[in-house]
Amino acid sequence: MEKSIKEILEDREYRFLSDFATKSKETQGRKKETHKDNMRTEFQRDRDKILHSKAFRRLKHKTQVFLSPYDDHFRTRLTHTLEVAQIARTISRALFLNEDLTEAIALGHDLGHTPFGHCGEGVLNELVKGGFHHNIQSVRVVEVLEDLNLCRETVDGILTHTWGYKPNTPEAQAVQLADKIAYINHDIEDSIRAGIISENDLPKECIDYFSSEPSKRLTVMISDVINNSKDKPQVMMSEEGWHYTTILREYMFNTVYVDSPAKMEEGKARHVVKELFYLYKDMLKNVCEENKIERIVTDYISGMTDRYAVEKYKEHFIPVGLHLGAKEDYLFKLAKVID
Protein backbone atom coordinates (compact mmCIF):
# COMPACT_ATOMS: atom_id res chain seq x y z
CA MET A 1 0.00 0.00 0.00
CA GLU A 2 1.35 3.41 -0.99
CA LYS A 3 2.39 5.62 1.92
CA SER A 4 0.68 8.94 2.55
CA ILE A 5 2.62 12.20 2.47
CA LYS A 6 2.32 12.38 6.25
CA GLU A 7 3.86 8.90 6.64
CA ILE A 8 6.70 9.82 4.28
CA LEU A 9 7.40 12.95 6.33
CA GLU A 10 7.32 10.96 9.56
CA ASP A 11 9.79 8.42 8.12
CA ARG A 12 12.04 11.24 7.01
CA GLU A 13 12.20 12.55 10.59
CA TYR A 14 13.63 9.21 11.77
CA ARG A 15 16.20 9.19 8.97
CA PHE A 16 17.45 12.77 9.22
CA LEU A 17 16.70 14.20 12.65
CA SER A 18 18.86 13.88 15.75
CA ASP A 19 18.23 11.11 18.23
CA PHE A 20 17.31 13.88 20.67
CA ALA A 21 14.70 15.44 18.36
CA THR A 22 11.01 15.07 19.13
CA LYS A 23 9.44 12.87 16.46
CA SER A 24 5.92 13.81 15.41
CA LYS A 25 4.89 10.14 15.20
CA GLU A 26 5.75 9.78 18.90
CA THR A 27 3.70 12.77 20.06
CA GLN A 28 1.88 12.43 23.36
CA GLY A 29 -1.21 13.42 21.44
CA ARG A 30 -4.01 15.88 21.95
CA LYS A 31 -6.66 16.17 24.65
CA LYS A 32 -9.39 15.37 22.15
CA GLU A 33 -9.39 13.03 19.19
CA THR A 34 -9.50 14.76 15.83
CA HIS A 35 -9.87 13.85 12.18
CA LYS A 36 -6.88 12.31 10.41
CA ASP A 37 -4.71 14.33 8.08
CA ASN A 38 -2.70 12.46 5.47
CA MET A 39 -0.80 15.55 4.30
CA ARG A 40 0.74 17.03 7.44
CA THR A 41 2.50 15.75 10.53
CA GLU A 42 0.88 16.53 13.89
CA PHE A 43 3.28 19.37 14.65
CA GLN A 44 2.71 20.89 11.21
CA ARG A 45 -1.00 20.89 11.98
CA ASP A 46 -0.30 22.69 15.27
CA ARG A 47 1.70 25.36 13.49
CA ASP A 48 -1.10 25.92 10.99
CA LYS A 49 -3.77 26.08 13.72
CA ILE A 50 -1.83 28.79 15.53
CA LEU A 51 -1.08 30.73 12.36
CA HIS A 52 -4.78 30.89 11.49
CA SER A 53 -5.96 31.78 15.00
CA LYS A 54 -7.54 35.14 15.84
CA ALA A 55 -5.14 35.66 18.75
CA PHE A 56 -2.18 35.42 16.36
CA ARG A 57 -3.63 38.10 14.07
CA ARG A 58 -4.13 40.46 17.01
CA LEU A 59 -0.41 40.40 17.85
CA LYS A 60 0.25 42.94 15.09
CA HIS A 61 -1.35 45.67 17.22
CA LYS A 62 0.14 44.71 20.59
CA THR A 63 3.14 46.47 22.11
CA GLN A 64 6.59 44.93 22.22
CA VAL A 65 8.44 47.76 24.03
CA PHE A 66 7.28 51.03 22.48
CA LEU A 67 3.59 51.74 23.09
CA SER A 68 1.47 52.13 19.94
CA PRO A 69 4.40 53.31 17.80
CA TYR A 70 3.69 55.62 14.86
CA ASP A 71 6.94 54.55 13.20
CA ASP A 72 6.13 51.35 11.32
CA HIS A 73 9.70 50.10 11.74
CA PHE A 74 9.42 49.54 15.49
CA ARG A 75 8.70 45.96 16.52
CA THR A 76 5.27 44.87 17.58
CA ARG A 77 4.39 41.65 19.40
CA LEU A 78 3.81 40.03 15.99
CA THR A 79 7.17 40.93 14.47
CA HIS A 80 8.83 39.84 17.72
CA THR A 81 7.08 36.48 17.39
CA LEU A 82 8.24 36.06 13.80
CA GLU A 83 11.84 36.87 14.75
CA VAL A 84 11.70 34.36 17.61
CA ALA A 85 10.39 31.74 15.19
CA GLN A 86 13.17 32.42 12.68
CA ILE A 87 15.95 32.26 15.29
CA ALA A 88 14.51 29.13 16.88
CA ARG A 89 14.18 27.43 13.49
CA THR A 90 17.79 28.28 12.64
CA ILE A 91 18.92 26.66 15.88
CA SER A 92 16.68 23.62 15.38
CA ARG A 93 17.75 23.12 11.79
CA ALA A 94 21.44 23.25 12.69
CA LEU A 95 20.92 20.75 15.54
CA PHE A 96 18.66 18.50 13.43
CA LEU A 97 15.71 18.99 15.77
CA ASN A 98 12.05 19.08 14.74
CA GLU A 99 11.59 22.44 13.01
CA ASP A 100 7.81 22.07 12.80
CA LEU A 101 7.42 21.68 16.57
CA THR A 102 9.88 24.51 17.14
CA GLU A 103 7.97 26.83 14.83
CA ALA A 104 4.59 25.93 16.36
CA ILE A 105 5.84 26.73 19.86
CA ALA A 106 7.47 29.99 18.74
CA LEU A 107 4.38 31.22 16.87
CA GLY A 108 2.17 30.47 19.87
CA HIS A 109 4.39 31.58 22.73
CA ASP A 110 2.96 35.11 23.15
CA LEU A 111 -0.69 34.60 22.17
CA GLY A 112 -1.78 35.44 25.72
CA HIS A 113 0.12 38.71 25.94
CA THR A 114 -1.80 41.77 27.06
CA PRO A 115 -2.19 45.14 25.37
CA PHE A 116 0.68 47.53 26.19
CA GLY A 117 3.17 44.69 26.62
CA HIS A 118 4.63 43.93 30.02
CA CYS A 119 3.06 47.09 31.37
CA GLY A 120 -0.43 45.65 30.78
CA GLU A 121 0.70 42.31 32.14
CA GLY A 122 1.93 43.99 35.30
CA VAL A 123 -1.41 45.73 35.88
CA LEU A 124 -3.40 42.51 35.53
CA ASN A 125 -0.89 40.73 37.74
CA GLU A 126 -1.69 43.26 40.47
CA LEU A 127 -5.47 43.15 39.99
CA VAL A 128 -6.17 39.46 39.46
CA LYS A 129 -6.34 37.09 42.41
CA GLY A 130 -3.44 34.68 42.06
CA GLY A 131 -1.68 36.97 39.58
CA PHE A 132 -1.48 37.05 35.81
CA HIS A 133 1.30 35.64 33.63
CA HIS A 134 1.23 35.84 29.85
CA ASN A 135 2.68 32.36 29.28
CA ILE A 136 -0.13 30.79 31.33
CA GLN A 137 -2.66 32.94 29.49
CA SER A 138 -1.16 31.81 26.17
CA VAL A 139 -1.95 28.23 27.16
CA ARG A 140 -5.47 29.29 28.09
CA VAL A 141 -5.88 30.90 24.67
CA VAL A 142 -4.96 27.72 22.80
CA GLU A 143 -6.74 25.30 25.15
CA VAL A 144 -9.90 27.19 26.14
CA LEU A 145 -10.61 30.47 24.39
CA GLU A 146 -9.82 29.24 20.88
CA ASP A 147 -9.74 25.53 21.69
CA LEU A 148 -7.05 24.71 19.14
CA ASN A 149 -6.56 21.21 20.57
CA LEU A 150 -2.78 21.25 20.15
CA CYS A 151 -0.34 18.45 20.85
CA ARG A 152 0.91 18.29 24.42
CA GLU A 153 4.49 19.02 23.34
CA THR A 154 3.41 22.28 21.71
CA VAL A 155 1.43 23.37 24.76
CA ASP A 156 4.37 22.53 27.03
CA GLY A 157 6.69 24.68 24.91
CA ILE A 158 4.28 27.62 25.00
CA LEU A 159 3.98 27.37 28.77
CA THR A 160 7.71 27.03 29.40
CA HIS A 161 9.07 29.70 27.04
CA THR A 162 9.32 32.06 30.01
CA TRP A 163 12.55 31.99 31.99
CA GLY A 164 12.23 29.97 35.20
CA TYR A 165 10.31 27.13 33.56
CA LYS A 166 11.93 23.90 32.44
CA PRO A 167 10.94 22.83 28.90
CA ASN A 168 10.48 19.11 28.30
CA THR A 169 11.75 19.01 24.71
CA PRO A 170 14.91 20.36 23.05
CA GLU A 171 12.66 22.24 20.61
CA ALA A 172 11.04 24.13 23.50
CA GLN A 173 14.51 24.85 24.91
CA ALA A 174 15.47 26.35 21.54
CA VAL A 175 12.41 28.64 21.65
CA GLN A 176 13.12 29.70 25.23
CA LEU A 177 16.61 30.84 24.21
CA ALA A 178 15.45 32.31 20.90
CA ASP A 179 12.94 34.49 22.76
CA LYS A 180 15.72 36.03 24.86
CA ILE A 181 18.08 36.43 21.91
CA ALA A 182 15.35 38.05 19.80
CA TYR A 183 14.10 40.61 22.27
CA ILE A 184 17.54 41.67 23.49
CA ASN A 185 18.73 42.31 19.94
CA HIS A 186 15.63 43.90 18.43
CA ASP A 187 14.99 46.02 21.53
CA ILE A 188 18.54 47.38 21.26
CA GLU A 189 17.90 48.20 17.60
CA ASP A 190 14.56 49.88 18.32
CA SER A 191 16.03 51.84 21.24
CA ILE A 192 18.81 53.14 18.99
CA ARG A 193 16.19 54.09 16.38
CA ALA A 194 14.27 55.98 19.08
CA GLY A 195 17.40 57.85 20.15
CA ILE A 196 17.32 56.46 23.70
CA ILE A 197 20.73 54.81 23.40
CA SER A 198 23.49 54.55 20.81
CA GLU A 199 25.51 51.52 19.77
CA ASN A 200 28.52 52.98 21.60
CA ASP A 201 26.55 53.12 24.85
CA LEU A 202 26.40 49.33 25.08
CA PRO A 203 28.73 47.73 27.65
CA LYS A 204 32.24 47.66 26.16
CA GLU A 205 32.88 44.05 27.14
CA CYS A 206 29.74 43.04 25.23
CA ILE A 207 30.80 44.99 22.15
CA ASP A 208 34.20 43.29 22.29
CA TYR A 209 32.60 39.85 22.66
CA PHE A 210 29.63 40.12 20.28
CA SER A 211 30.75 42.94 17.90
CA SER A 212 29.14 46.36 17.55
CA GLU A 213 27.21 45.35 14.42
CA PRO A 214 23.64 44.13 15.10
CA SER A 215 23.73 41.26 12.60
CA LYS A 216 27.10 40.03 13.88
CA ARG A 217 25.93 40.23 17.50
CA LEU A 218 22.89 38.14 16.62
CA THR A 219 25.01 35.64 14.68
CA VAL A 220 27.45 35.22 17.58
CA MET A 221 24.59 34.47 20.02
CA ILE A 222 22.92 31.95 17.72
CA SER A 223 26.23 30.30 16.82
CA ASP A 224 27.08 30.00 20.50
CA VAL A 225 23.86 28.08 21.18
CA ILE A 226 24.41 25.77 18.20
CA ASN A 227 28.09 25.05 18.87
CA ASN A 228 27.45 24.47 22.56
CA SER A 229 24.51 22.10 21.94
CA LYS A 230 25.74 19.82 19.13
CA ASP A 231 25.19 16.13 19.91
CA LYS A 232 23.77 16.98 23.34
CA PRO A 233 20.28 16.34 24.73
CA GLN A 234 19.95 19.93 25.97
CA VAL A 235 19.95 23.18 24.01
CA MET A 236 21.80 25.90 25.87
CA MET A 237 24.34 28.72 25.58
CA SER A 238 27.89 28.39 26.79
CA GLU A 239 28.62 29.87 30.21
CA GLU A 240 30.68 32.63 28.61
CA GLY A 241 28.04 33.46 26.00
CA TRP A 242 25.28 33.53 28.59
CA HIS A 243 27.44 35.72 30.86
CA TYR A 244 27.71 38.48 28.24
CA THR A 245 24.10 38.05 27.13
CA THR A 246 23.01 38.57 30.74
CA ILE A 247 25.10 41.75 30.96
CA LEU A 248 23.34 43.08 27.86
CA ARG A 249 19.95 42.14 29.27
CA GLU A 250 20.69 43.91 32.56
CA TYR A 251 21.87 46.96 30.64
CA MET A 252 18.56 47.08 28.74
CA PHE A 253 16.58 46.83 31.97
CA ASN A 254 18.56 49.67 33.51
CA THR A 255 18.45 52.00 30.52
CA VAL A 256 15.34 51.13 28.47
CA TYR A 257 12.88 48.75 30.11
CA VAL A 258 12.58 50.76 33.32
CA ASP A 259 12.10 54.55 33.65
CA SER A 260 13.20 55.60 30.16
CA PRO A 261 11.56 57.72 27.41
CA ALA A 262 10.20 54.43 26.02
CA LYS A 263 8.11 54.14 29.18
CA MET A 264 6.80 57.70 29.38
CA GLU A 265 3.25 56.71 28.40
CA GLU A 266 3.04 53.65 30.63
CA GLY A 267 1.24 55.52 33.40
CA LYS A 268 -1.59 56.25 30.98
CA ALA A 269 -1.60 52.67 29.72
CA ARG A 270 -1.81 51.35 33.28
CA HIS A 271 -4.74 53.64 33.92
CA VAL A 272 -6.57 52.40 30.81
CA VAL A 273 -6.21 48.74 31.78
CA LYS A 274 -7.14 49.34 35.41
CA GLU A 275 -10.26 51.37 34.63
CA LEU A 276 -11.47 48.87 32.03
CA PHE A 277 -10.95 46.05 34.52
CA TYR A 278 -13.14 47.68 37.18
CA LEU A 279 -15.70 48.80 34.59
CA TYR A 280 -16.19 45.33 33.12
CA LYS A 281 -16.37 43.69 36.53
CA ASP A 282 -19.17 46.08 37.41
CA MET A 283 -20.95 45.47 34.08
CA LEU A 284 -21.07 41.72 34.72
CA LYS A 285 -22.36 41.90 38.30
CA ASN A 286 -25.92 40.94 37.37
CA VAL A 287 -25.06 38.89 34.29
CA CYS A 288 -23.18 35.85 35.57
CA GLU A 289 -21.97 34.15 38.73
CA GLU A 290 -19.65 36.31 40.80
CA ASN A 291 -16.88 33.72 40.94
CA LYS A 292 -16.60 33.79 37.13
CA ILE A 293 -16.50 37.54 36.64
CA GLU A 294 -12.80 38.14 37.21
CA ARG A 295 -11.82 35.30 34.89
CA ILE A 296 -14.06 36.60 32.11
CA VAL A 297 -12.81 40.17 32.41
CA THR A 298 -9.19 39.00 32.46
CA ASP A 299 -9.69 36.96 29.29
CA TYR A 300 -11.39 39.88 27.58
CA ILE A 301 -8.83 42.55 28.46
CA SER A 302 -5.75 40.39 27.91
CA GLY A 303 -6.98 39.63 24.39
CA MET A 304 -7.28 43.30 23.45
CA THR A 305 -4.87 45.09 21.15
CA ASP A 306 -3.42 48.42 22.27
CA ARG A 307 -5.68 50.45 20.04
CA TYR A 308 -8.80 48.46 20.91
CA ALA A 309 -8.17 49.03 24.61
CA VAL A 310 -7.72 52.76 23.99
CA GLU A 311 -10.90 52.89 21.91
CA LYS A 312 -12.87 51.08 24.60
CA TYR A 313 -11.55 53.46 27.22
CA LYS A 314 -12.56 56.46 25.10
CA GLU A 315 -15.94 54.90 24.43
CA HIS A 316 -16.73 54.51 28.13
CA PHE A 317 -14.89 57.38 29.79
CA ILE A 318 -14.51 60.21 27.26
CA PRO A 319 -17.67 62.24 26.64
CA VAL A 320 -18.93 62.38 23.05
CA GLY A 321 -22.09 63.41 21.27
CA LEU A 322 -25.29 61.36 21.25
CA HIS A 323 -24.76 57.71 20.32
CA LEU A 324 -26.49 54.40 20.84
CA GLY A 325 -24.21 53.14 23.61
CA ALA A 326 -21.22 50.87 23.87
CA LYS A 327 -21.38 47.32 22.66
CA GLU A 328 -19.48 44.66 24.52
CA ASP A 329 -20.84 41.63 22.72
CA TYR A 330 -17.78 39.46 23.21
CA LEU A 331 -17.58 40.28 26.91
CA PHE A 332 -21.11 39.00 27.44
CA LYS A 333 -20.49 36.05 25.13
CA LEU A 334 -17.58 35.04 27.37
CA ALA A 335 -19.86 35.35 30.38
CA LYS A 336 -22.09 32.66 28.92
CA VAL A 337 -19.42 30.17 27.88
CA ILE A 338 -16.59 30.38 30.43
CA ASP A 339 -16.59 27.80 33.21
Does any domain span residue 10?
Answer: no
Distance between CA atoms of 295 and 127, rounded to whole angstroms?
Answer: 11
Mean pLDDT of 149-165: 97
Q: What is the tens place of the pLDDT at every residue in 266-288?
A: 899 999 999 999 999 999 998 89
What mean pLDDT is predicted for residues 159-180? 97
For residue 289, being part of any structural domain is answered with: yes
* Mean pLDDT value across residues 246-267: 87
- Bridge partners, residue 163, by sequence: 165
Domain membership of residue 283 (yes or no) is yes
E-assigned strand segments in 25-78:
none
Give which of 168, 178, 169 is closest to 110, Cα–Cα: 178
What pLDDT score was predicted for residue 69?
A: 59
Query: In whole angstroms, what is the distance from residue 93 CA to residue 225 CA?
Result: 12
Instruction: Tell me if 308 is assigned to some domain.
Output: yes
Mean predicted confidence (pLDDT) in 296-308: 97
41 touches 33 (CB < 8 A): no
pLDDT at 328: 77
Asked if the model's pLDDT at residue 324 lies above 70, the reply is: no
Residue 182 parent element (H or E): helix 170-193
Q: Is residue 318 part of a domain?
A: yes
The domain of 322 spans 266-337
Number of domains in the chain: 1
Residue 41 lies in a domain: no
User: What value does the mean pLDDT take over residues 218-232?
Assistant: 98
Q: Does residue 332 form part of some domain?
A: yes
Banded pLDDT at 68 (limits 50, 70, 90): low
CA dist 217 and 215 (Å) reads 5
Confidence of residue 72 (pLDDT cuts 50, 70, 90): confident
142 lies in a domain? no
Among 51-55, 101-105, 147-151, 324-328, the minimum mean pLDDT is found in 324-328
Q: 63 pairs with which residues across the strands?
A: 76
pLDDT tens per residue, range 26-46: 999 999 999 999 999 999 999
Rounded Cα distance between 41 and 228, Å, is 29
Q: Which of 104, 101, 97 is nearest to 21 (CA)?
A: 97
Q: Which of 3, 174, 180, 168 is nearest to 94 (CA)?
A: 174
